[in-house]
Amino acid sequence: MNQLADTFRDRSAFAPSGPYRLLPARFSRLDDRRYVITNDVGEYVVLERPALQALLRHELQPGTPLYADLKSRHFLFDGESRVALDLLALKYRSRADRIADFTALHMFVVTLRCDHTCSYCQVSRQMEEKSRFDMSQAHADRAVEFVFRSPSPAIKIEFQGGEPLLNFDLIRHVVLRAESLNREHGRDLVFVIASNLTRLNDEILDFCKGHRIYFSTSLDGPADLHDERRALPRGSSYRAAVDGIQRIREALGPDAVAALMTTSPGSLPRVREIVDEYVKQGFHSIFLRSLSPYGFAVRTSLVRRYDVDDWVKFYVEGLRHIIDLNLSGYPMREEFAAILLQKMFAPVGNGYVDLQSPAGLGIAGIIYNYDGAIYASDEGRMLAEMGDHTFRLGHLDEDSFEEVMTSDTLVDLLKDSMLEGLPMCSDCAFMPYCGSDPVFHKATQGDVIGHKAFSSFCKKQMAVLRHLIALMEDDASARRVLQSWI
Amino acid sequence: MLIKLHGRSLRALSPERSPEPFLGRVCTNPALPAAARSREILLVEGPCELPGGFRAYLTRSETGVARQPNVFFIGAEFPFLGDGDIIRIHPERSGLTVLYRRSSAFNSMLVTERCDNYCVMCSQPPKERDDGWLVDELFEIIPMMSPETPEIGITGGEPGLLGSRLVDLVDRFRRFLPRTALHILSNGRAFADEKFALALAKVGHPDLMLGIPLYGDLPEVHDFVVQARGAFDQTIRGILNLKRHRVRVELRFVVQRDTVERLPAFARFVARNLLFVDHVALMGLELMGFARSNLDAIWIDPLDYQRELAEAVEILDRARMHVSIYNHQLCVLDPVLHRFARASISDWKNLYLEECARCEARARCGGFFASSVVRRSRGIAPFAIAEQSGPMVAQRED
Amino acid sequence: MTADDRFDTRIDVQTYRPAAIKKAAYRVAERCTVRLEPSDSDEPILRFTFPPRTSDTAAAEAVRVFYQELLDEELRAQLHEETDALRSLILAHAFSRTDLLQR
Ligand code: SF4
Ligand code: SF4
């Protein structure tokens, strides 16, 4: 019956002959029982320890589903087939080429002035009146020239502060100048204003209508949590934010504003409330961030007041809540998970600056400070405010774009941040999804590499990646939600 | 519509006729200027005076006066024949073969029956013999085709075995039919030779696509299905070489019992390794040729692989690849898959069943291969015309 | 466990390569310091030093984790030995060709 006609050979005639060979890979513990093994191009397989041992000792049986998956995902090859090597080379190259598309994000610190006095602010605040903390028009013009020197086809110009709306005239100037230059360059050009929205007014909104300008604001959670750390001499910062969000949506459309939260020790037990606040404000996306160790935060040593384990608990609970929201019909993405999942499942990766190897420093983003100094990343600029100039790439008055992008500072930083060469990372299964955060390690440990056994960045990365992989493996309904974020 | 493209019941009405088979283009205008008649075959309905100078004559009435050479009676056969169609007449065998239909959206041209694969479900089993005349004939008729032809398919056997002849053929299409899309069905192995892929690319055809079958993510699966060791490696290298030189490639995966188990793994493999291909087609079996002799070994009811199919489509779609389902009746597909289904079966091969007449989805459904009547899915059931919902069998629980 | 937060044991350097021992030590550096000390026999001494006020259970756990890591590091070393040459080959191949994705 179920047989092929005589002129055909059956499956066994095509089974690979001889032993298999291993391909380059890394493995790490997933939980008590299981390991995750990944290759250089980010494919992974979860397997139990005996299976891992069997694999590495060449004792794995062909014909089993595990063998087939390991072979399909390029952890081994056998028989006469060698095409796995071609495909691996190709995938490696494609990942590397992403880097060639560099400098998509350009941040302009148009002023350092701010009307808030937040205890954990990542930028050292300056008094509102001191206009010597504003960026000059000459520096802005020169920075716009730099923007168009970068080869990226998509360009985002982000206005930061301080509170950038305190220097809206310069924002208007930069937008018009960039747009007029872009008529010739034809890039995909968008603008983002990172603002606390207290200074939002109709004049600003009217201007934004005619241009591709988006807003990004802070929303830390319910009013008391938000206002606890965002001190406004008069009025409520929370009210300003939620009113501003509504006004922007009405004037510019529902997707014209995004919110970003900052985690403080007070947030840790309240993740559900925070997520629900985002739902209440009509957001379909939230980024559950960890508190960064820069600016005031380091000085007030808030970082040490809560431990990575507490944050991981906060994160896991928040993610569960978000998945449940999706399952009950409210679509919502958690952006940190989305970034990692994209690295795991979308082969070309993405451009999130803080999670790249080599670090996205200068490559995915570059920052022009109010005084004309150029930094490799926003956090690098904040370190500079604290007197550490490791990440200063040059100055708008002194250097050309080419000089900045080939500066020894940048090249050395990038070299040091290739995870492939770092102790522990070089053997870590999570490496293809991780990324280095040299600024973080410089701030906390004094060197850009950092000892990963002491690094809370590493601890956080491992915990979240383990959690996500376990969800993908063990929880079918969560998997469906997570997949929809890729 | 199921139509016949070949017949052997021509009746010669004229004593004088060509001894050799010949090619010509159908024309229904007896007043065509004499100078333009030499490659045209005049088709007339009723009895009439036949003007001289045409290559041959086809008449639907027996009572004409056959004063011209090569007059043939075709009766009511080939009712669709019209201006611009290209046919071959074989007077010795009373044969008429329609090679090209001007009104068809898709004309498929067989260029060789030789092949270096030997697929267990091949619908057009290869024959090992010198058939170079097939491609010679195609060279001859390309200038006779309408420049408005939307799409031509090149099939085999394995067109790649033609070597540089294939490159010349594509070049000829480019010169004579620059606005016609060209789709070549090839197993891709010949393009493992990068020089060959480059030569094809260098033709610079404006709208060329290679449809290349890939039956799995693992060499042992693909090699078994095509019955050739090493074919997987060659096919993949062929695909890489073609894409390296910017030739568009479509992957074609036939779902059958040996391939279905790793269908989702195949999709994952493609999304990871071959993300740059231009289209992925997941296809149902066409029960002809070897597929028919191996039917029991390879058949699986599409109803029994909806989960795998849906998973594969989801993976490819999420990777933002273009994915289509071919050769599947809508009533056997999970409703989430309907938007990927294409009515793909060539018009001369497809038909509908009795129940299809009562079906609301018929206009969107590809129907059946004429050959598929030998085995049909348990899931065939018309969508009720009155109601909006589908038939119960199409509602699959997860 | 000794009073001065130290624990010594012998280790077979035939079974465990020194490189693996060092890497495992790096991984547990937060819990304890592990050092290889020469001894009068063939088997060197492995010396665990714990931070002040480490409990006995925590110390035992640190040693257990160290051995677990050591086994993993041995497997890693094996994997490296077998695949490092292939990795170089793949990399060389990757950067010797024009890219596919730049359509
Ligand atoms: S930082 Fe930690 S998680 Fe990330 S690659 Fe390095 S060792 Fe792995
Ligand atoms: S019943 Fe409807 S859906 Fe099913 S094959 Fe016929 S036309 Fe297609």
- The rounded Å distance from CA A467 to ligand 2 centre is 45
Report if residue A434 sits inside a domain.
no
Are B155 and B78 in the same domain?
A: no
Query: What's the domain range around A317?
Result: 102-405
Beta carbon of B333 within 6 Å of any ligand 2 atom:
no
Read off the pLDDT of residues B204-259 as tens digits, 9 standing for 90 and up.
Answer: 999 999 999 999 999 999 999 999 999 999 999 999 999 999 999 999 999 999 99
Distance CA A148, CA A150 (A): 5
Segment B22-47 mean pLDDT: 92
Report if residue A11 sits inside a domain.
no
Q: Tell me what pLDDT residue C92 has.
A: 82
Are A274 and A328 in the same domain?
A: yes
CATH code (residue B277): 3.20.20.70
Residue where a domain stops, chosen among B50, B70, B100: B100
Distance CA B380, CA B355 (A): 8
- Identify the burial level of C3 via C-beta atoms within 10 angstroms of its C-beta, where 0-12 means exposed, 13-18 middle and 19 or more buried: exposed
Of C27, C91, C97, the CB nearest to A424: C27
Are B87 and B115 in the same domain?
A: no
Q: Where is mean pLDDT largest: A66-75, A420-429, B293-302? A: A66-75
Q: Hey, is B325 helix, strand or coil?
A: strand
Residue among B321, B276, B234, B231 at smallest CA distance from A93: B276
Distance CA B325, CA A124 (A): 58
- The rounded Å distance from CA A97 to ligand 1 centre is 22
- Residue identifier of the C-alpha nearest atom 6 of ligand 1: A425
Are B51 and B181 in the same domain?
A: no
Are A56 and A128 in the same domain?
A: no
Q: Which residues of B touch C97 (CB under 8 A)?
A: 244
Report if residue B320 sits inside a domain.
yes
Segments in chain B forming alpha helices (H): 132-141, 164-176, 194-202, 219-226, 231-244, 263-273, 290-293, 295-298, 306-318
Q: Tell me what pLDDT residue C4 has.
A: 57
Read off the pLDDT of residues A197-235 as tens digits, 9 standing for 90 and up.
Answer: 988 999 999 999 989 999 999 999 999 999 887 877 778
Stretch among A3-7, A24-28, A221-225, C86-90 having the lowest mean pLDDT? A3-7
Are A55 and A139 in the same domain?
A: no
Q: Which helix (H) or strand (E) is A342 found in, with range?
A: helix A335-345
Q: Tell me what pLDDT residue B4 has.
A: 80
Distance CA B331, CA B353 (A): 12
Q: How confident is the model at residue C32 (pLDDT cuts 50, 70, 90)?
A: confident
Q: Which residues of C touch B244 (CB under 8 A)?
A: 97-98, 100
Beta carbon of B345 within 6 Å of any ligand 2 atom:
no
With the C-alpha atoms ordered A75, A80, A85, A90, is the resulting torsion angle positive or negative? negative
Mutate to test the interface with C, among B237, B244, B278 (most CBs of C within 10 A): B244
Asked whether residue B261 carries a pLDDT value surpassing 80, the answer given is: yes
Distance CA B149, CA B176 (A): 11
Q: Which residue of C has its CA nearest to B240?
A: C100
Segment A389-408 mean pLDDT: 81
Are B23 and B169 in the same domain?
A: no
Are B61 and B200 in the same domain?
A: no
Asked whether residue A358 carries a pLDDT value surpassing 70, the answer given is: no
Inter-axis angle of helices B231-244 and B194-202, nearest 10: 40
Cβ atoms A369, A338 nearer than 8 A: no
Report if residue A274 sits inside a domain.
yes
Residue among A407, A406, A377 at smallest CA distance from A391: A377
For ligand 1, mutation pick of A27, A431, A469 (most atoms within 8 Å of CB): A431
Report if residue A416 sits inside a domain.
no
Asked whether residue A65 carries a pLDDT value surpassing 70, the answer given is: yes
Residue where a domain stops, chosen among B352, B369, B389: B352
- Residue identifier of the C-alpha nearest atom 7 of ligand 1: A425
Sheet holding C45-49, edge to edge: C6-10, C45-49, C33-37
Residue where a domain stops, chosen among A405, A425, A440: A405
Segments in B58-183 forming alpha helices (H): 132-141, 164-176
Segment B251-270 mean pLDDT: 96
Cβ atoms B212, B239 nearer than 8 A: yes
Q: Hey, is B165 helix, strand or coil?
A: helix
Distance CA A305, CA A314 (A): 15
Mutate to test the interface with C, among A37, A99, A427, A430 (most CBs of C within 10 A): A427
Read off the pLDDT of residues B35-47 as tens digits, 9 standing for 90 and up.
Answer: 999 999 999 987 7
Report if residue B390 sits inside a domain.
no
Q: How confident is the model at residue A97 (pLDDT cuts 50, 70, 90)?
A: low
Q: Tell me what pLDDT residue C97 has.
A: 56
Are B73 and B121 in the same domain?
A: no
Report if residue B292 sits inside a domain.
yes
pTM comes to 0.86
Structure tokens belonging to residue B212: 């290349």
For residue C56, what is the DSSP state?
Answer: H
Are A77 and A113 in the same domain?
A: no
C96 — phi, psi (to 5°)?
-100, 0
Q: What angle do CA B149, B151, B152 make, to 5 degrees?
A: 100
Report if residue A175 sits inside a domain.
yes
Report if residue B386 sits inside a domain.
no
Instruction: Tell me which of A473 and B355 has the higher pLDDT.
Output: A473
Cβ atoms B50, B71 nearer than 8 A: yes
Please give the tally of structural domains in chain A.
2
Distance CA A213, CA A206 (A): 11
Provide, rounded to the nearest whole percent, the portion of chain B with pLDDT above 90: 65
Ligand 1 binding pocket (C-beta < 6 A) is A 419, 424-425, 428, 430-431, 434, 452, 458, 461-462
Are A91 and A222 in the same domain?
A: no
Q: Where is mean pLDDT largest: A108-112, A347-351, B346-350, B351-355? A: A108-112
Domains of chain C: 6-96 (3.30.70)
Q: Which residues pair with B152 in a beta bridge?
A: B107, B182
Are B141 and B63 in the same domain?
A: no
Read off the pLDDT of residues B193-206 as tens digits, 9 standing for 90 and up.
Answer: 999 999 999 999 99
Ligand nearest to the CA of A438: 1
- The rounded Å distance from CA B299 to ligand 2 centre is 20
Residue among B161, B151, B171 at smallest CA distance from B108: B151
Q: Is the peptide bond before B157 cis (omega within 30 degrees of 0)?
A: yes
Give A376's Cβ-side CA count (13 Å radius): 30
Q: Hey, is B183 helix, strand or coil?
A: strand
Of B223, B296, B318, the CB nearest to A486: B318
Mutate to test the interface with B, among C90, C99, C100 (most CBs of B within 10 A): C100
Q: Tell me what pLDDT residue A354 has.
A: 45
Are B86 and B129 in the same domain?
A: no
Residue where a domain stops, chosen among B81, B100, B119: B100
Instruction: Tell me which of A386 and B140 has the higher pLDDT.
Output: B140
Instruction: Tell me which of B56 and A440 has the higher pLDDT.
Output: B56
CATH code (residue A305): 3.20.20.70
Cβ atoms A374, A397 nearer than 8 A: no
Instruction: Tell me which of B130 and A302 has the higher pLDDT.
Output: B130
Bridge-based pairing state of the strands A373-375 and A365-368:
antiparallel
Are A110 and A58 in the same domain?
A: no
Are B193 and B128 in the same domain?
A: yes
Three-state helix/strand/coil letters over A248-312? HHHHHCCCCEEEECCCCHHHHHHHHHHHHHHHHCCCCEECCCCCCCCHHHHHCCHHHHCCHHHHH
- Residue identifier of the C-alpha nearest atom 1 of ligand 2: B382
Asked whether residue A436 carries a pLDDT value surpassing 60, the answer given is: no
The amino acid that residue A160 corresponds to is Q
Distance CA C99, CA C77 (A): 32
Q: Tell me what pLDDT residue A233 has.
A: 72
Q: Tell me what pLDDT residue A303 has.
A: 46
Report if residue A353 sits inside a domain.
yes
Report if residue B314 sits inside a domain.
yes
Q: Which helix (H) or strand (E) is A384 found in, with range?
A: helix A378-385
Bridge-based pairing state of the strands B40-44 and B22-27:
parallel
- The rounded Å distance from CA A125 to ligand 1 centre is 33
Are A70 and A181 in the same domain?
A: no
Residue A231 C-alpha from the chain's centroid:
27
* Number of inter-chain CB pairs under 8 A, A vs C: 74
Report if residue A146 sits inside a domain.
yes
Q: Tell me what pLDDT residue A355 has.
A: 43
Query: What's the domain range around B234?
Result: 107-352
Dihedral, CA atoms, B213, B218, B222, B227, nearest 10 degrees? 150
Q: What is the mean pLDDT of chain A?
A: 83
Residue where a domain stops, chosen among A96, A118, A134: A96
Read off the pLDDT of residues C67-100 as tens digits, 9 standing for 90 and up.
Answer: 888 988 889 998 999 998 998 888 888 777 544 4
Asked whether residue A389 carries a pLDDT value surpassing 90, the answer given is: no
Are B35 and B180 in the same domain?
A: no
Report if residue A224 sits inside a domain.
yes
Report if residue B388 sits inside a domain.
no
Stretch among A177-181, A262-266, B245-249 having the lowest mean pLDDT? A262-266
Read off the pLDDT of residues C17-28 as tens digits, 9 standing for 90 and up.
Answer: 888 888 888 888
Cβ atoms A95, C94 nearer than 8 A: no
Are A49 and A133 in the same domain?
A: no
For ligand 1, mutation pick of A44, A420, A458, A464 (most atoms within 8 Å of CB): A458
Are A88 and A151 in the same domain?
A: no
Read off the pLDDT of residues A450-465 as tens digits, 9 standing for 90 and up.
Answer: 555 567 778 888 999 9
Cβ atoms B145, B176 nearer than 8 A: yes
Residue found by looking up tokens 């890939």 in the block? B214
Are A180 and A251 in the same domain?
A: yes
Read off the pLDDT of residues C42-63 as tens digits, 9 standing for 90 and up.
Answer: 777 888 888 888 888 888 888 8
Report if residue B385 sits inside a domain.
no
What is the distance in angstroms between the Cα of B387 and the nearest Cα belonging to chain C?
47
Asked whether residue B15 carries a pLDDT value surpassing 80, the answer given is: yes
Are B150 and B64 in the same domain?
A: no
Beta carbon of B245 within 6 Å of any ligand 2 atom:
no
Segment A81-87 mean pLDDT: 93
Report if residue B384 sits inside a domain.
no
Read off the pLDDT of residues B112-170 as tens digits, 9 standing for 90 and up.
Answer: 999 999 888 888 888 888 888 999 999 999 999 999 999 999 998 999 999 999 999 99
Give A305's Cβ-side CA count (13 Å radius): 16
Q: Tell me what pLDDT residue A177 has.
A: 96
The amino acid that residue A134 corresponds to is D
Segment A371-380 mean pLDDT: 82
Are B47 and B156 in the same domain?
A: no
Are A219 and A196 in the same domain?
A: yes
Are A355 and A369 in the same domain?
A: yes
Please give the tally of structural domains in chain B.
2
Residues in Cβ contact with B71 at an 8 Å cutoff, skipping those fewer than 6 apart: B12, B13, B14, B50, B56, B57, B59, B64
Residue where a domain stops, chosen among A359, A379, A405: A405
